[in-house]
Chain A
Amino acid sequence: MIKALIIAVLVVSVAGCSGNQSALDVHGQSAVALKQLIVIMVIACAIIWLLVSGFLVWAVARRREVRDDEVTKRKMTVGVQSAAIATVIIVAGLTMISFYTTRLLNSAADDAVVVTVKGQQWWWQFVYKQDQNQALFQTANELHIPVGRDVRLELESIDVIHSFWVPSLAGKLDLIPGRKNILTMRADRPGIYRGQCAEFCGLQHSHMALMVIAEEKADYERWRMSQAAPAREPTSDEALAGKDVFTARQCAACHTIRGTPAVGTSGPDLTHVGARQMIGAGLLETTRGSLAAWIADPQTLKPGNNMPLVPLTSDELRQVSAYLEGLK
C-alpha cells in the first residue's frame, strides 16, 4: 500500500512537469488516440491484476481444511474454466480495441507537407521538398511543421537503423537502410515537441534528439521562406573573418553553407544554424559560447561523434562562432 502511494505521488510529480517528450502529454491526433488506448488498457489490466491478486490473498489467507472431494474438484473445474473463458473474452476485446485504434491514427491527406527524414549517426537531416520533388532546402535536428496540417515524413537511414519518435505527436517508426517508411503526424496546437532516436544506433544514441516546432501557418511560411534563402552575409568584421576561417579550414569539407564555397555534405547543413534552438542534436542551446565550446572540443561534449577536432587559434574560434551564430 505504501509502495502504491509512493508510486502514485511519483506519477503525479512526473505528469506535472513532463514537458514535451511524453506519451501521456499529447498534442496530435495519433498521439491522442494512442493515449486513449494506453489509458483503457492500463485500467483494464490493473483491474484484472487486482482481481487475481485479491483472489490469491483470499485463497491463501482463509482458514479451512484441505479439501480434495468431488464437490471441491467440480468447483475448481468450473472456476478455472470460467476464468479461461473470461480471459478469452477480455483478450479478444482488447485486440478489437487495438485494431480500432489503428484506424484512428493519422494517414496522410493529399495536401500533406512532405519532409524526408534521414537518420544518421547521430543527428537528423530534414529535407524539405519543392513541388517537383526537388530538394528545396535542408536543415538538421529541428523540424518545423504547420499546425493542423498532416505532415508526411519519409523515413530513410544513411547508415544504421534509427527510430523516429516524438511521443507527444505520434508513435515511433524505424528508419531502416534500404527501405523507406512513411510516418504521418499532425500537431493540434503550436508548441515545441521533443523527440529522440529510439533504436540503439551506437555510441551517441543517447544524444540524438530532435525538436518538432509546430507553428501557425503564417509563422511556418515565414520560416520556410527564410530557410530557402541562402545564408546571410555577415555584417561585423569578426563574423566576416569567421566566414573566411570556415571556408578555408576543414569545416567546409563536411558542412554546407549555401551561398558560400562550403559545400560539404557529411555533416549538417549550417546555412541557418544560428536560427536553430539547439546544436549537437539536442545537446546544447545555440549561443555563441556553446558554438565555440562545441567547435573547440566536440569529442568531450559528445564522445565518439563524427565531428573531428579542428585546431583553431582562439581568435579563429571566436570569429567562427560569431559567424555561425549570425547565420539566422
Chain B
Amino acid sequence: MMGKESSRPLLDTDLDDVVLEARLAKTWETPTGFWGIFATVDHKIIARRYLATAFVFLFLGGLLALAMRLQLSRPEARFIGPDRYNQIFTMHGTNMMFLFAVPVMEAVAIYLVPLMVGTRNIAFPRLNAYSYWVFLFGGILLWLSFALDTAPDVGWFAYVPLAGPQYSPGKRADLWAQMITFTEVAALAVAVEIVVTVFKQRAPGMSLDRIPVLVWAMLVMSFLVILAMPAIMFASSTLILDRLVGTQFYNPAKGGDALLWQHLFWFFGHPEVYIIFIPAVGMVSTILPTFVGRPLFGYLALVSALVATGILSFGLWVHHMFVVGLPRVGESFFTASSMAIALPAGVQIFCWLATLWAGRPVFKTPVLFVLGFIVTFVMGGLTGVMVASVPFDTQVHDTYFVVAHFHYVLVGGAVFPLLGAVYYWYPKICGRMMSERLGRWVFGLIFVGFHLTFFPMHILGLAGMPRRVYTYQPELPWAGLNLFVSLSSLILATGFLLFLIDALRSWRHGRPAGSNPWGASTLEWATTSPPPAYNFRRIPVVSSLTPLLDNDGELTVAAGLRTDRRELLITSVVEALPQSRESSPRNSIWPFLASIATSILFVWSIFSPWAVVWGAIPVALALIAWFWPKGSPEDES
C-alpha cells in the first residue's frame, strides 16, 4: 500500500467498494442530456467517437476504391470521367491516411493508454475533446467538398506546381491544404496527451521496463507525430499562402522551388507510414502473448526496434523522390538508409516468430489476423527493400507495383493488426464478444480478397501500368489483370462488410464478455467491461510487465486519492514513483465551442487571409472561457 496518510473522509482510503464506486461515479460521470454529449471529457467516450468516425471514413474510402476498380475494370471505360476520377483517388488517399489511419491509431491510444497505464483519464482531457471535434469538422469539410463535386483533385501528395495557383484554380487544392491543418491540429493535440499520460500518469511501480509494448508503441508514434507533422503544416500553410496571397515558395519562375514541396511533404510523409505502422506493432505484441500461453519474447529488443524505427524513419524521405534527378551520392545514402530499416523490422518479426515457436497458439480471430499480418507484411517489407534500390525504383516508381507495395504495408501491416485488435479489445470497449464464427469468415474473406486484389498489381506495375491513371488504352495488355483485380476487390469488400455486420450485431447481441475474457495480462483487463467512468476503483500498483498474472490474479492497489473531485496520481518518469495528486479537468462545453471557432477560422481562411485576424477573436474568447481559473489548487504533493 502506498504511504498516503490522511484522515479526511473525502479520500478513498477507508471506504468500502460499493460506497467508493458510487462516489467515484458521481465525480467522474458524464452528465446525460444534450449538453453532456458535447461537454464530456471522458477519454473512453471520446475514443469511441474517434473510432466510430475513423471507421466510417474507412468504409467511405473503401467505396471510393470500389468506384476506381469499376472504372479500371476495362480499358477506356466511361463510368467515371477524369475529373471525378482524380477527385476520387485524391479523396481515397487523403481520407485513408489523414481521416482513417492516423486517427484510428490515435483513437486506440486514447482508449487504451490510460487504461493500460492504470490512470483515470488521459492528460489534458479537454484538449482531447477539442481534438476530436476539430478532426470531425475537418473530415466533414473534405467529404462535403466531395459531395459538392469540388473535392481536391491533385493527389494526396498535392505536388506543386500542379497544386499551385496557376494549374489548380478554384478552391479544391485549398480545401485539401486546410483539411491537413484540421487533422494535424487534432493529431498534435492527441500526441501531446499521450506523451504526458505515459510519462507522468503511469501506475506506481510501472517503471520504464514494465510499460506494455503497445504503450511504448503509442509513445513512439506520438513523438513521430510531434516531430513530423510540423513539416506538413509548414508545407500546407505555404501552399495556401502561394495560392491566396501570392507568395512564391514553390514557383520556380519567381525563385521558388518545386522540389522543396516534395522534401517537406515526404519529410512528414515517410514518418507518417510509421505513425501508422508502429501502433500496429504494439497491437501484435500485445495480442500474441495472450494467445500463445507465454510472455512475449524479446521485450527489450522489440522496444529498441520500435525506437530505432522511429528514429530511422526521419532519414528515408528521399526514397519517395528517387526519380527527380538526384546526385549519385544522395541516391546511395538514401538507398542504404532505406535498406537499413529492414533490420529493426526484421527483429520485430523474428521476436514474434520466436514467441509463436515457443508457445502454443490458440487460433482465435485476433491470432488469425496476426498470422495474416506476418505473412502479408513480410511481403510488403520485401518489396520495400526492392523499391529502396534507386535503379529498381526507376522502373516501378509511380506504377501499380508501388500501389501493391504500400497496400501490403499499410493494409497488411496496419489494418490486419487493427482488425485483430478490434476483435481483441471489442469486449473491453463494448462489454460483449464479437462472433468467433463470423470472425473466421471475416478474416478469410479479407485475407484472400486482399491478396487476390493486390498481388496482381505488382505484375501490372512491372508490365508498365502507371498509377493515378483514370483509364488505359485497349492495345495495352493490362485489361485481363485489371478485371481480375476489380472482381477480387469485391471479395475484399465483402469481408469488410461482414466485419461491419459483426461489429454492429455484437454491440447488442454479443455474448457478455466479463472483465478479462482472454485471460490477458495487462491492466485494461483489471476493470469491468466496459470500464466505469473512473476506470479503476483504486489505482493499481505494478510490479512486473504482466500485472494480472502475478499474485494469482490479485491486484495490488494504491489508495489516497480524493473522491469528491477528479484526481489523478502523478508519478515519476523513469521509476513511476508517486509524486503528487493532480486534479483532472471536469466536463466543459468550451472545447466544443473552441473547436467550432477554430473551424470557422480555418474554413474562412481558405477564402480570405483576414480570417486569421478576425477569426482569431472567437477562438481567443473560447480559450479564455476554457481556461478560466476555478479557484482551487491544481495539485497536492
A124 to B202, CA, bound (A): 61
B448-473: CB near A (< 8 Å → 1, else 0) gives: 10011001100100111011111111
Q: A21-B464, A201-B162, A304-B82 are in contact. Are A55 and B395 (CB under 8 A)?
A: no
Closest partner residue, chain B, to A34 (CB atom): B395
Tell me if A297 is interfacial: C-beta within 8 Å of chain B: no
Cβ–Cβ < 8 Å partners of A160 in chain B? 159, 161-162, 167
Closest partner residue, chain B, to A76 (CB atom): B354
Task: Contact check, A102 vs B325: say whether CB atoms are below 8 A apart.
Answer: no
Tell me if B241 is interfacial: C-beta within 8 Å of chain A: no
Tell me if B618 is interfacial: C-beta within 8 Å of chain A: no
Task: Contact check, B162 vs A176: say whether CB atoms are below 8 A apart.
Answer: no
Cβ–Cβ < 8 Å partners of A13 in chain B? 480
* Residue from the list B155, B258, B294, B347 in contact with A200, Cβ < 8 A: B155
Tell me if B293 is interfacial: C-beta within 8 Å of chain A: yes
A-B contact count (CB 8 A): 257
Closest partner residue, chain B, to A84 (CB atom): B347
Cβ–Cβ < 8 Å partners of B356 in chain A? 56, 59-60
CB distance from A182 to the nearest CB of B (A): 8
Task: Contact check, B343 vs A66: say whether CB atoms are below 8 A apart.
Answer: no
Tell me if B484 is interfacial: C-beta within 8 Å of chain A: yes
Task: Contact check, B398 vs A10: say whether CB atoms are below 8 A apart.
Answer: no
CB distance from B618 to the nearest CB of A (A): 38
CB distance from B329 to the nearest CB of A (A): 11
Task: Contact check, B481 vs A87: say whether CB atoms are below 8 A apart.
Answer: no
Task: Contact check, B464 vs A18: say whether CB atoms are below 8 A apart.
Answer: yes
A99 to B155, CA, bound (A): 31
Partner-binding segment picked from B128-136, B386-394, B621-629:
B386-394
Task: Contact check, B360 vs A64: say whether CB atoms are below 8 A apart.
Answer: yes
Task: Contact check, B468 vs A94: say whether CB atoms are below 8 A apart.
Answer: no
A161 to B350, CA, bound (A): 42
* Residue from the list A53, A66, A196, A283 in contact with B378, Cβ < 8 A: A53
Tell me if B86 is interfacial: C-beta within 8 Å of chain A: yes
Tell me if B399 is interfacial: C-beta within 8 Å of chain A: yes
Partner-binding segment picked from B277-285, B330-338, B423-431, B541-549:
B330-338
Tell me if A213 is interfacial: C-beta within 8 Å of chain B: no
Task: Contact check, A205 vs B468: say whether CB atoms are below 8 A apart.
Answer: yes
Tell me if A146 is interfacial: C-beta within 8 Å of chain B: no
Q: A34-B394, A60-B371, A83-B346 are in contact. Are A173 and B462 (CB under 8 A)?
A: no
Cβ–Cβ < 8 Å partners of A174 in chain B? 323-325
Task: Contact check, B167 vs A53: say whether CB atoms are below 8 A apart.
Answer: no
Tell me if B557 is interfacial: C-beta within 8 Å of chain A: no
**Which residues of A76-111 are within 8 A (CB) of B?**
76, 79-80, 83-84, 87-88, 91-92, 94-95, 97-99, 101-102, 105
Tell me if B15 is interfacial: C-beta within 8 Å of chain A: no
Cβ–Cβ < 8 Å partners of B383 in chain A? 45
A81 to B347, CA, bound (A): 8
Tell me if A24 is interfacial: C-beta within 8 Å of chain B: yes
Residue among B253, B358, B379 with max Cβ neighbours from chain A (10 Å): B358
A151-177: CB near B (< 8 Å → 1, else 0) gives: 000010001110101010011111011
Cβ–Cβ < 8 Å partners of B382 in chain A? 45, 48-49
Task: Contact check, B391 vs A98: say whether CB atoms are below 8 A apart.
Answer: yes
CB distance from A34 to the nearest CB of B (A): 5
* Residue from the list A7, A178, A182 in contact with B258, Cβ < 8 A: A178
Q: A178-B257, A197-B466 are in contact. Are A102 and B353 (CB under 8 A)?
A: no
CB distance from B84 to the nearest CB of A (A): 10
CB distance from B532 to the nearest CB of A (A): 34
A205 to B556, CA, bound (A): 64
**Which residues of A247-275 are within 8 A (CB) of B?**
none
Tell me if B140 is interfacial: C-beta within 8 Å of chain A: no
Closest partner residue, chain B, to A177 (CB atom): B252
State the 5 A-B residue pairs at the shortest beta-carbon distance, nearest first. Answer: A171-B394, A178-B252, A98-B389, A181-B325, A206-B469
24 A/B residue pairs, CB under 8 Å, sorted by A: A7-B455, A14-B480, A18-B463, A23-B396, A38-B395, A38-B462, A53-B378, A66-B293, A67-B358, A80-B301, A84-B350, A87-B342, A88-B343, A95-B335, A101-B391, A159-B166, A172-B395, A179-B259, A198-B323, A203-B83, A203-B86, A205-B468, A206-B82, A283-B473
Q: Which residues of B line the A interface, CB within 8 A?
A: 81-83, 86, 154-155, 159, 161-162, 166-167, 252-253, 257-259, 292-295, 297-298, 301, 323-325, 328, 331-332, 335-336, 339-340, 342-343, 346-347, 349-351, 353-354, 356-361, 371, 374-375, 378-379, 382-383, 385-386, 388-399, 448, 451-452, 455-456, 459, 462-464, 466-473, 475-478, 480-481, 484
19 additional contacts, CB 8 Å, given A53-B375, A66-B358, A202-B86?
Answer: A11-B459, A14-B477, A34-B395, A37-B391, A37-B392, A38-B392, A38-B462, A52-B353, A60-B356, A88-B343, A91-B342, A97-B389, A98-B335, A165-B466, A171-B391, A200-B154, A206-B469, A209-B473, A283-B473
